Amino acid sequence: MRLSPRTVHQIDSPFGAARELAARRCGRRELLDLSQAAPRYPAAPAVVEHTASVARDAHGGEYTDIAGLPHLREAFAAELSQSYLGHVREEQVVVTAGCNQAFCLVVSALAEAGDEVVLALPYYPNHDMWLRLNGIRPVYLDPGPDLVPGPEAAEALITPRTRAIVLVTPGNPSGVTAGPDAIERLAEVAGRHGIALILDETYRSFRDTAEPAHRLLSDLRWEQTAVSLHSFSKDYAIPGYRVGAVVASPRLNREVMKLLDCVAICAPRIGQEAAWAGVTRAQEWRAARAYEVREKRRHFAAVMAERPGGFELVSAGGFFAWVRHPFAGRSTEEVVHDLVITYDTLVIPGTAFLPEDDRMFRVSFNNVDRKSFSDFAERLTAAGIPHAAAHLE
């Protein structure tokens, strides 16, 4: 049979490739798996209990409305309205099978082959890949040294074919959190040009502040420009339940539901019920876990402050750290290969998140306990010095 060149010519999942690489390691010591981000802790007891009751219910395996369970959409709209000091209604929420699907559906509803979408660097690789798979041209927005994209740089990239600007905040992979002012300025640019500002807010609960992530939802006209994408996976430790949400205008959501009906009918009921239990019964639990993650991040930054082996922590936030390796004469792919094969340390190369090699890699520090951070620093020291001292800048 003949396969589509558009798919064949795309890269395989960098996360799958990382697991395959780990399987080839020497294995002299325990693997430090700092690749794909996932909570180390189990779901909240309230979520587990409600999910079990749904599984036992005679109707627990039935379809839901395409847009999702009404009681989840209502509860989540209320939670967003409170968290953002804004105005979100049930009809502005569509539940999806994870935030990845939310992005794919929104982009497919906004753009077609030949159109352009601006991606702030470093991008989430599935975003870049989905655009390419659909013949949509990704246009890369260089955020500068602070990794927060400015409005002037964004506006300079807009053409008549541009359909959206995409920003992940807190960033995946960088962890960098764009402040309310920066987000508002990007929204103003998008609004002037009649395009969407798509915010992937998967890690919003893991910021260093309880203040609203932005002020867009407090404007009653927010749905003319803003599209906010969410995940319940990290908030309530249910990544395998595959449940996320699109928060957008009813006009856009109508198109999203056409696509959702084709690819999934609806998000899994069991995941939606788990998310509802989290939103309504596990807010204190979520806040406590978010605090623990922030403390781990602070400790990780302290361990990395001495630049073990010459490896430099550039930024950290959410579940991630963005690290620059010290080898000017080696590719990041080679460095990452050496880290896992020789030093039993698995990270994701920055080339999965950037169009060019900038000597970066992503560390999902929340994958391990705090005691492992010193071990990580020791392995970096062994990998960087003295074996590569001649290559250090």
User: What's the fold here for domain 45-282?
Assistant: Aspartate Aminotransferase; domain 2 (3.40.640)
Quote the pLDDT of residue 388.
Answer: 43
Which 8-state DSSP code applies to residue 29? S
Taking the CA atoms of residue 246, residue 241, residue 101 and residue 286 in that order, the dihedral angle to the nearest 10 degrees is 40
pLDDT digits 0-9 by tens, 44-54 = 999 999 999 99
Compute the distance between CA of residue 353 and CA of residue 174 in angstroms, rounded to an integer.
Answer: 9
CATH class of the region 5-41+285-385:
alpha beta
- Mean pLDDT for 98-116 is 98
Compute the distance between CA of residue 1 and CA of residue 3 in angstroms, rounded to an integer.
Answer: 7
Which 8-state DSSP code applies to residue 43? P
* Global pTM value: 0.95
Where do the structural domains in the chain lie, given as residue ranges?
Answer: 5-41+285-385, 45-282
Bridging pattern class, strands 32-33 and 162-168? unpaired
pLDDT at residue 194 greater than cutoff 80: yes
pLDDT at residue 385 greater than cutoff 70: no
- Mean pLDDT for 114-141 is 97
> What interhelical angle do 269-281 and 283-304 show, nearest 10?
90
Type of residue numbered 362: R
pLDDT digits 0-9 by tens, 219-270 = 999 999 999 999 999 999 999 999 999 999 999 999 999 999 999 999 999 9
